[in-house]
Chains A and B, each alone.
Chain A
Amino acid sequence: MTAIEVDRLSHIYAGAEGGVPALEDISMTVEAGKFVVIVGPSGCGKTSLLMMLAGLRHQSTGTILCDGRPITDPDPSRVGVVFQEASLFPWLTALDNTEFPLALRGTPRDERRRRAEDMLNLVGLQGFGARFPHELSGGMKQRVSIARGLVQDPPVLLMDEPFAALDEQTRMTMGHELLRIWSKTRKTVVFITHSLTEAVYLADEVLVMSARPGRIVDRIAIDLPRPRTYEMMATDTFGKLRERIWQQIRKPEGTLS
Chain B
Amino acid sequence: MTQTQIIAARLALLAAILAAWALLPKYGVLDPRLLPPLGDVLAMLGKQLARSQVQEAIGVTALEVVVAFVIAVPIGAAIGVAAAEFEYFGQIFKPMLFYVFSVPKSIFLPMFILIFGIGFPQKVAYAAFSTVFIVIMSATAAVESVKADHVLVARSCGATKAQILWRIYVPSMMPVLLETLRISMIFNFTGVMIAEMYASRTGIGHLIANWGENFQMPELFAGVIMLSVVAICFNEAVRLLEVRVSKWRT
Interface residues of A (CB under 8 A from B): 54, 56, 74-77, 79-81, 83, 86-87, 89-92, 100-101, 103-105, 132-134, 148
Contact = CB atoms under 8 A, between A and B. Distances in A.
A91 B172 contact: yes
Interface string B232-250: 0000000000000101111
A161 B248 CA distance: 25
Given A83-B153, A87-B149, A91-B171, A101 B248 contact: no
A91 B249 CA distance: 8
Top 6 closest pairs, chain A to chain B, by CB:
A101-B157, A81-B156, A76-B158, A91-B248, A91-B171, A90-B248
Contact of B149 (A83, A91, A103, A148): A83
A86 B171 contact: no
B248 A75 contact: no
Nearest to A90: B248
B155 interface: yes
Interface in B136-152: 147, 149-150, 152
B153 to A, nearest CB: 5
A89 B158 contact: no
B57 interface: no
Contact of A56 (B155, B163, B247): B155
B156 A56 contact: yes
Contacts of B154: 100, 104
A104 B158 contact: yes
Contact of B158 (A75, A87, A133): A75
A129 to B, nearest CB: 15
Contacts of B54: none
Contact of A104 (B149, B157, B247): B157
A86 B152 CA distance: 12
Contacts of A104: 154, 157-160, 163, 167
**Max count, chain B CB within 10 A of own CB: residue among A79, A86, A91:** A91
A100 B171 CA distance: 14
B156 A74 contact: yes
B247 to A, nearest CB: 8
6 contacts: A54-B156, A56-B152, A74-B156, A76-B157, A87-B149, A91-B245
Contacts of A91: 171-172, 245, 248
**Max count, chain B CB within 10 A of own CB: residue among A77, A83, A90:** A90
Contact of B249 (A77, A80, A90, A105): A90
Contact of B153 (A75, A87, A132, A134): A87
A74 B248 contact: no
Contacts of A79: 156
B150 A105 contact: no
A83 B148 CA distance: 12
Contacts of B168: 89
A89 B171 CA distance: 9
A148 B250 contact: no
A83 B152 contact: yes
Given A132-B248, A134-B250, A74 B157 contact: yes
Contacts of B159: 104
Contacts of A56: 152, 155-156
Nearest to B174: A91
B156 A86 contact: no
A150 B49 CA distance: 64
A148 B156 CA distance: 11
A86 B168 CA distance: 14
B248 A87 contact: no
B179 to A, nearest CB: 16
A159 to B, nearest CB: 12
B156 to A, nearest CB: 4
B158 A101 contact: yes
Contacts of A148: 157
Contacts of A132: 247-248
A87 B150 contact: yes
A132 B154 CA distance: 18
